[in-house]
Structure formats: C-alpha cells, structure tokens
Chains A and B, each alone.
Chain A
C-alpha cells in the first residue's frame, strides 16, 4: 500500500469573533495541506465559520476553543473542543425546541444545521467537562462504474492475505458486480478511496487468491469504536460459491481482531455468503429509501467470554430485553428504575451523527431533560424534512440517563430493534424510527 499523508495540527483560540478569520484561515490551510480539494475545503471552512460564530454567542470571550484538524489521506477530521461548564447546552441540539419561558432564541436554521450540511458526517461527543464537535469532510474521488468482465475461475489451493492495491480494486469490482447494492458499501463505488482507507489502516482487508493470482473472494472491516469491529462481505467469486472461502475469510478477520481492544464483531449489511452459523442473529433493522423498505438482519459475535452483567432500565424496556437476552443466552440481571418525582433538567440534549451519503442518522443522548418527547419529535421532523429517512437512536445501558429516553422514544414511533452486547459501557440498544409506527 502506498503511504498516504496524514497528521494533525492544533489551534487554541479565544471564543471571540475577532479570531473568526484566524480559525477559518487555519482550517482552510490545514485542509488543503492534508489533500482536500478546493471545493471540499470551502465547504469545511463555511462549516467552521458557522460553528465558531455560534460558539462565540454562547461562550465568554475569555473562554478557549481548541480546534484540531486531522488528515488521514481520504478525509479531513475537524474537532472543536471546549469546556461545557456554564453553557446552555440546548444550543447543541440539531434543532431548537422552544419553551414557555421565552428565554431561548429559536432560529429556523442554527449554525449547527448549516455546518452539518456542509460535511459528510457531523457529531457531538460529551465527556464530564468537555464537548467535542466532530466534522468529517471526505476527499473527492472519481466514481467508477464497475463493469462485468470475464475473469478466469480460481483453481487449486487458496491463500488468504491482506489485499494489495490492485487486489483491493479488483475486490470492489467483483463485489459490486456480483452482489446487491445493499450488500456492498457505498465506498466501493470509489476504489481510490477504498485504497486510501486501507493505506492509513482505517480499513482492514482480506482477499482469497489462487496460486496464479486469481481473486476468489474478499472481506473488509474497520473499528467502529474501541469495542466494536464492523465488516462488509464476505464476497465470493461466483465460481467459488458453496466452498469454504467465506468461512476462511471470516476466520482470518477474527484471528486478526482477536487480541485487540474489540469485544465484538458485527455486520448490519451482510452479504448473502455470510456463514451465519459463525455469528449470532441480533434481529433486524429496516432501510427506508424512496418509499421502499428493506429488512436486514444484523449478525454479531463476541470475541470474549461474557460473564454476565446487571443492567438498569426503564420498565417499558424489560419485556424486550428479557426476550433478547434469552435468545442470545446472555446472563443479565435486569433492574428497573422509575420516576419518583425527582427534579429533572428542563431541557434534553441529543447528538446527531449524520451520515448523509448513506442516508443514516444516529441520535445519541447527551443530557436527559423533561422535554425529551418534544425534542425527539423535533429532531425526527427536521431530519425527515431534510430527506434523511433512516433514523436510529443508540441507548447505552451503562448510563442510567440514556435509559430515561425510552418512553419518549416509544411515544415518538421508535422501536427497540436490536441489542449489541457490550458495545458501549454496557449493552447498546438500537432503536429505529418506524414511520407510521404505533405510539
């Protein structure tokens, strides 16, 4: 794999509008240096301007904002990091939820919304005392229309190994030609991007080849988080269907992730050649597009021995979880919490992780508040109006505040679909918004 330029630069500035030009110029220069094209750089600079202005409105001019720019070959990642003390965090909701007090200004288009439209992914992460806004802008790559070409059939013994540049391009073609669109990642339309992703180690690869170098199959995977690896494939050449290639590719991946930090491996868009017996069926999710819906099973396996756990959830989740835990043979003691009239924050905050290209949004709870029902509703209305139809909500059962959103989600036509064991601090429940679903 060729070396791809990567690196990091950092700027610390006061949240004062007089530094706006400094921030935008810095991001512009860094993005160009990391190989982003002029058009993409301009989009990112506009996003920076919107966010910086918004932060200046809610922070004191003496407060500081750290802006990190990371280049990783195929994308530029921008982070705004700042202290969350004394901030009205409602500003970080993608949409504004007005309240009766009238003490909070609601604009139709917040800087956050404008910024989110300028980039390929946008998210908010919170720690105890800091917030991190993360924007990702990808490099432009030419889209390749994969044509079906006649290739010789693989024969004899097969060797499974990491893919080289040409092998990876060949894999993107083979998968695109032989599998449904849903089974192949969007990035496979851009082989150059896939090669760059592999070069920087973002994407890991395996190909099966015969002695004469003919491709028999392949698989790609990446770290979704510290604890979870996701994969696409396995893809098997038509002549090799029904052989053990798919299992060998999966084994190769499992051997490579076995002694890493990852606790689990998952595929939410498996290919038809996935050896499902090697995985656990977590249940299904829907994909909505152009008025059609497709139901897809999520397959998962833990890499470690799960010795059981205690989860504390809202009572409305108990039946769903009990059934799921029984199906998955997971030892879980389920405790419930209930609202005993204690004072709660008035306003909730959600982080929206927007993946525009794949029409997918993952909402994550930041703060629970009494307006959770209205806030979720406002997010759904805004996202649907923006053409984003696949809306998910990730609930980490390791955080009690996450669980408090359950009734508000169900009220807003979200359904708990799957439980991913130990994908967060504890198990992760994935809810999905089902348009027209029952309240």
Chain B
C-alpha cells in the first residue's frame, strides 16, 4: 500500500468529499501572471478607506516588546469596551480570529453527528462549509427575490436542527430583514434552537428599520450575534471578529473556543477603532457616492444589478462570470465570481473610490464588446 491509500482510509467520508477552499495568490504573483501593472482588489468587501485614524495611530505606536509575549487570551480589554459601548457585561462577548472563527466556535459547541444547521442557499458560504467538513448536514432554503425566506427556513426545521444562520444584510444580495420580520421569525423558531444573526455589514446600514441584533440579545436567550472588524473598521488583515449573546449561551460557546487565537495587535487596533467618530460616517458617505455612480453607469451599459445594504453590488453579466473574472484581471480588476454563491453569471464588486469604480466601468465596457 502506498501512503496515499492509508491516508484515504483515515479520512472521514465528509472530509474526503470536501473540496478545500483555495484563496487567491498574493498581488505580486497575480500581477505577474495576468500581466497587469497594478491590481484593485474588489473581491473581498474590504473598506477602501482602510482602518480609522485612531486604529492607524494605535498600530503605529504598538509596543514591539509585546510581540514576544502572548496576548490577552480572551481579549479582556476589548470585551470590556464592547460591554461598555453596548451596555452589556464583558462575559456576553467572545472574540475570535475573524468572524469565521466564531462560526466554528458556535457549530462545535452545539452540534454533534446527525445534527443539522439551516441557512439560505445563496449566502455567505462558511456556515455551510464548516457544517459539512464537521460531518453535519447543511440544509439550504432557497432565497425568495434575493431575500432570506423565513417560511422556507422554518419548513426545514426538524428535531435535529441546532442552529439557523441568518446573514443580515445578506452577502451577496444586500437584502435584510427589518425588526418586525426578524422578531416574527424568532417567535416562530421558538426557544429550542440557536439563531445566529450574522451582522458583518451592520455598520453600513442606515435604514432605521434594520434590527440591532446586539440589543435584541436581551429579548432572546437563543440569539447569537456576529460582528466583525474586517469590513467597516478596515482591519481585515488583522483577523478579528466577535459574537454577543446572553452570558449562559456565551459560557457554553466558550468551551469550544481556542484561547490566544486573537493576536495583540488586532486587539489593540480593534479597541482603537471603537473610539473613532468619523470613520463610519466617511465610509458611508463614500459608499453612497460610489453606489450612485455605479448604478448610473450600469444602467447606461444595460446591465442588471442587485444593490442593497453593505459595501458591495452584484452585477448580472451576459456571459460566464468566471470568464469575466479573467478578462477583468487582465485589466488589474479583481472581482468575486458568483457561481460559487450559486448565482452563475453574476459578479460581486466591492464598492471603492470613484476613480476605481470608473476603471471598473471601463473594464465592463471592454468585456461586453
């Protein structure tokens, strides 16, 4: 037997059948292969303004001696500050190495073999991935007119359902449930299952009917809310996100949490980000302008689009999205293909500065020729 064969026998079926996600290569490698002089990354919904001035200052003045020592294992000061800001206790927060890590914490805490999770078919893929490579069933309810469909999700619930993931606003469609719709959903689900409200893009939403999940935690013991510093706060490179729930729920999730996974620089920068007054306002202003510009241009190009809350837009192309990706890459524009989100023929573009959006429009004009 070759070593390969032994490995095959060791792997659980659900791992064997899972295809590993291959992230994109570093910019320099991509530019070399695609022959472009510069690259605009419009694929990961990062903040084009970067971190806030306060976060930048904190990063610049970070004490290098701290690099040699372990960080706070449970992000002590950051949780203190979050508690203060949201009028909660420190123990209602759990910080992870990006929101992706807290997804894994929650699934590991509540699910065992034979259980299932429920989410939508066309949403952020990580809920589905973590469930599948953990040997759990991921049940997917189809979206309805680009929105999460509560009835279809409720119809999928059975005795083995442990967690329901709602991405609000939804990545990649930007649609969201308002407060009354979300409350009605919580009512229908009842107290026997965890509902995760993923609010990765919450800070971009200005609509007053948008539910503030962290406030709702007081009303629902089974509600867990995710937030991240990767999007609005521009700290994607430092990997830091958190969850908020009632203390009892957080204590349960903490059992599966790997401590010391969040580095000291990330904690320091995140803490400073929370002190910024202008950053959110400036980012929202840029989003508003760039979205307005893009809408006008896409209409001129007769391209359909799906735009909602968040710092992204989905564009429907009259061609394969994966071909469009390569054509745009040759022009130094990196977008996200939507086939993997089950939206074949669509691309998702992160909203950025107006000049970059102008280059994108030129790129789209080129590929439509």
Contacts and interface: CB of A to CB of B under 8 A. Distances in A.
Interface of A: 127-130, 250-251, 254-255, 258-261, 277-280, 301-309, 328-333
Interface of B: 2, 4-5, 17, 19, 22, 24-25, 29-30, 32-35, 121, 125, 128, 318-320, 322-323, 325-327, 329-330, 336-337, 339-342, 344-345
A330 B340 contact: no
Contacts of B121: 255
A329 B4 CA distance: 35
A128 B344 contact: no
Given A258-B344, A305-B322, A307-B329, 12 more contacts: A129-B2, A130-B2, A130-B5, A255-B344, A259-B125, A278-B344, A305-B24, A305-B336, A305-B337, A307-B25, A331-B329, A333-B33
B33 A308 contact: yes
A305 B325 contact: yes
A367 B111 CA distance: 48
A301 B322 CA distance: 7
A129 B32 CA distance: 37
Chain A interface main SS type: loop
A321 to B, nearest CB: 15
B327 A329 contact: yes
Contacts, number: 87
Contact of A306 (B5, B35, B322): B322
Contacts of A331: 30, 33-35, 326, 329-330
A128 B2 contact: yes
B33 A261 contact: no
Contact of B340 (A303, A309, A332): A303
Contacts of B22: 304
A259 B35 contact: no
A295 B94 CA distance: 62
A258 B34 contact: no
Contact of B342 (A129, A259, A304, A306): A259
A200 to B, nearest CB: 17
13 contacts: A129-B2, A130-B5, A251-B345, A255-B121, A259-B125, A261-B19, A301-B320, A304-B339, A305-B325, A308-B30, A329-B323, A329-B327, A333-B32
B4 to A, nearest CB: 7
A127 B4 CA distance: 9
B318 A277 contact: yes
Given A258-B339, A331-B326, A307 B344 contact: no
A127 B320 contact: no
Nearest to A300: B320
Contacts of A278: 319-320, 344-345
Interface centre among A255, A258, A301 (most CB of B within 10 A): A258
Interface centre among B329, B336, B341 (most CB of A within 10 A): B329
A304 B345 contact: no
Contacts of B24: 305, 307
A258 B342 contact: yes
Contacts of A280: 320, 323
B29 to A, nearest CB: 8
A129 B3 CA distance: 10
B322 A302 contact: yes
Contacts of A251: 344-345
Contacts of B32: 333
A357 to B, nearest CB: 30
A308 B342 contact: no
Contacts of B337: 304-305
A44 B323 CA distance: 45
Contacts of B319: 277-278
Contacts of B326: 306, 328-331
B4 A128 contact: yes
Contact of B128 (A259, A305, A329): A259
A258 B319 CA distance: 16
A254 B339 contact: yes
Nearest to A333: B33
Contacts of B35: 331
A402 B34 CA distance: 26
Contacts of A303: 322, 339-340
Nearest to B19: A261
Contacts of A279: 320
Contacts of A304: 22, 322, 337, 339-340
Given A259-B128, A331-B326, A308 B34 contact: yes
Contacts of A129: 2
A385 to B, nearest CB: 37
B121 to A, nearest CB: 8
Contacts of A260: 19
A301 B33 contact: no
Contacts of A305: 24, 322, 325, 336-337
Contacts of A277: 318-319
A352 B112 CA distance: 46
Nearest to B17: A261
A68 to B, nearest CB: 13
